[in-house]
Every structure is written in structure tokens, then in C-alpha cells.
Amino acid sequence: MYYEYLSTKNMDALHAIFTRRSIRKFTPDIINDDDLNIILKAGMYAPSAVNKQPWHFIVFRNTDTIKRIIEVHPNASPMLGANVCILVCYDEELQHDNGYGAVDCSAATQNMLLAAHAIGLGAVWLGIYPRQPRMEAISEIFRLPGHVKGFSIVALGYPDEKKPEPNRFNSGKVHDEQW
């Protein structure tokens, strides 16, 4: 089912990696549930330490929630124009060991960003972890259980800006055998 759906919207993986950019301006167009589910599924297909998959996702659109987040997160204003946002969380009881939940959620967040780009959507990663005041505020806003920690927010929408493909390859950061 997903593969048939994707065949109409996919993009080469390397092209998606090299052309994905943080999009902070969105059109008012609505993201359909199939596209949203593809993005969530991509997050769940990320690698995780010992395959523990400690992530949870909270999908939200509520303007009051968004405004509360903007009060505690100085870089969260792109959420105002987004059609939907996803809070990526990790469960400390499910993570492989201390610290792995954040690593696993990094992979999940990146998968979601790439999936969004591959199907023609724009997205931006809004960091929460490791900033303790943000983590505590997000925990309060979303009433997270004590063992669940907010990691990032992915703001999604149809892009209303275009950014050039960057040239980020730097051979000076590649070392052969040792430093």
C-alpha cells in the first residue's frame, strides 16, 4: 500500500539528502493524512540502538499550543505558518541505555525531514533536547509522563520559499586511517 502510494511521489534518496533544506515559510495548503502517515512511518523506520525504538510522536495543530511553545522556545515561530507539527519524544524506559533515546530520536527526526522533502513538503527541525528549560516547558505543555522526554519538533507544510542547494562537502574534514 505505502509503496504504491510512494511510487507517485518519490525522489531519489541521494537527491533528497543533498537538496533538503530547512523550510520556515509555508503555504496555507492542508497536508493530507496519507502524507502525514508516510512521514510518521519514516520516523519509525529510523535505526535505534538495539532496535529499542523508544520514540513517541505527538501530532498537533492547535494554535494555542503553538503559541505556548513559542513563549518558551525562541526559534519556534515557523510553527505559526505550519500546517501540522510533530513533537518527537523518547521514553527513557524504552531506550537502550542513558542517552540513547536522544540519539535514536535524531535519526527519527532526520528520516521525517527527508520523507517530507521527498514527497514535496517543507519541514524544519526545532530543537528541544538538550536544553533543560525547553524540555521541562514542553513536558508541561504536553503533559508528558516523567519518563518521556521531548526531543524535537518538526514543523511541516507546503513550502512557500525556495532555497539553493548548498555545497557542504569539505574534504578537509575527511581523515584517512587516523587524524
C-alpha cell at 52: 529499542
Q: CA quadruple 27, 30, 35, 39: dihedral positive or negative?
A: positive
Whether the bond into 130 is cis, omega within 30 of 0: yes
> Per-residue DSSP letters for 112-142?
HHHHHHHTT-EEEEEE-TT-HHHHHHHHHHH
Interatomic CA distance for residues 89 and 150, integer angstroms: 4
| Per-residue pLDDT, 7 | 59
List the chain domain ranges. 44-161
Residues sharing a CB contact under 8 Å with residue 27, sequence separation 6 or more, in sequence order: 157, 158, 159, 160
Report which of 99, 96, 9, 2 is spatially closest to residue 45, judged by C-alpha positions. 2
| Per-residue pLDDT, 12 | 86
Q: Tens-digit pLDDT profile for the chain (179 aa)?
A: 444 555 566 668 888 999 999 999 999 999 999 999 999 999 999 999 999 999 999 999 999 999 999 999 999 999 999 999 999 999 999 999 999 999 999 999 999 999 999 999 999 999 999 999 999 999 999 999 999 999 999 999 999 999 999 899 999 999 999 99
| Per-residue pLDDT, 8 | 60
Q: Which fold has domain 44-161?
A: NADH Oxidase (3.40.109)
| Per-residue pLDDT, 14 | 87
- Look up the pTM and report it: 0.93
| Per-residue pLDDT, 2 | 47
CB 121, CB 22: distance < 8 Å: no
